[in-house]
Structure 1
């Protein structure tokens, strides 16, 4: 469970991070008691820490005594190299794909056993999209997630395959089926989903490579269905991913 990183005698910084870590994609807004439980901290300690974090802008307090992550934390997060480097270098290529398709485009990286969305250009409002910049979603039921999982270390793959969660009736929850899809993603160079994260949305994604071999991110697109346009979309994503990889290599060589 998110946030359960506290131990008796932990430092103030450790306890503060336990409070911040209590938030995740499924828990964007929490009460004080929920924060206390998820951070594994006494209620009085949580109350004191939350008051300080609100004063510093790290948390925001809303009506009915609920708290959310504050803008200051988000602003600091944008300074992380994975954001400022990869996101900025990839931005022109995402805009190229968006201009050609008018569909939602994603840039994402793996964060443990989840996919972290670094950037998103919003497309057709008729296609249901649950991702937002800075959010995390399961690896096994998103196009970008499957690509990243296909190239993840074996222990990460084993952990994900051992705890598959159904999100929609079409989510792949068979370890054997998903393992076969990951093999195919490695072989074909792309991964797809169909109604697995949200009904009415299909996706296709390709890896972004650094130095030609190291998978550092995934580039994906979400549409209503892939039957007619899969080949065209994969081709466009590959060109863009190759461009991102090229500028990453150039930036590293400077």
Structure 2
């Protein structure tokens, strides 16, 4: 749109344009300035409309960025979300590597609002009853895999810590200040732990898979029975595997953008 030309689009048109503008970054997040550029809106208009969309669950904060929210994810669809499919396809091989190395139960999950949603799971030899199931949701604050992603979203941290931290087990962290301190360490160290916080007898170590913009798109975890599995021992190998997974994810994102640009220019 040329400078000075009146924008005849309605507010609904502009809001829908913002939702479409996320593209391949719908799950990782895009900044207000970039969304405004993509939709040819002023930054103030984009910010105002994003606020309305956020209040209605269509988008949510991801640090200083925005991403599509739970209302959009919960809309019925005849097929799985392409981004989720890509994450599962790209990252499941790394989940298999974790399993082969540890022989413990391993998980792949994403963060949707304050909850973890599990995309894949491979069972270890020493099974401990676990609340995790593929497609299931668990509060992020009481799981290692959830804290590995939650730590990078200050807006969501405020939301979680200002709400009720229900004790799932006697070991669940229910003190908001203690949880904040722990999440700060997770962000600093790139690794998260869960010591019987979601299930008694179960320990867990987790690390985020990062996008090119340094925000988590998913996380990988290893969990095992107390007394037989020491999660601290697996912190370094898990960091390395998550780092490699992040590189492969970034390469896939670049390839998708290049294909989209080629189709657009054809």
TM range, smaller chain: 0.5 to 0.7
Change (3 A) 1:75 1:93: farther
- Indicate the residue corresponding to 1:189 in structure 2: 190
Counterparts of residues 1-254 of structure 1 (less than 5 Å): 76=78, 79-152=80-153, 154-162=154-162, 163-211=164-212, 213-225=214-226, 229-254=230-255
What is the TM-score with the length of structure 2 in the denominator?
A: 0.63
* Displacement of 1:119: 1.0
SS of the residue aligned with 2:207? strand
Q: Is the 8 A contact 2:186 2:192 kept in 1?
A: yes
Aligned residue pair count: 180
Q: Is the 8 A contact 1:146 1:191 kept in 2?
A: yes
Change (3 A) 1:115 1:247: same
Which 4+ stretches in 1 moved above 6 angstroms? none
* Displacement of 1:201: 0.2
SS of the residue aligned with 1:120? strand
* Displacement of 1:176: 0.9
Change (3 A) 1:128 1:204: same
Q: Is the 8 A contact 1:128 1:199 kept in 2?
A: no
The gaps in structure 1 that reach 5 residues or longer are 1-72
SS of the residue aligned with 1:108? strand
* Displacement of 1:214: 2.2
* Displacement of 1:243: 1.8
- Indicate the residue corresponding to 1:44 in structure 2: none
What is the TM-score with the length of structure 1 in the denominator?
A: 0.66
Change (3 A) 1:119 1:76: farther
Distance in 2 between residues matched to 1:200 and 1:227, nearest whole Å? 10
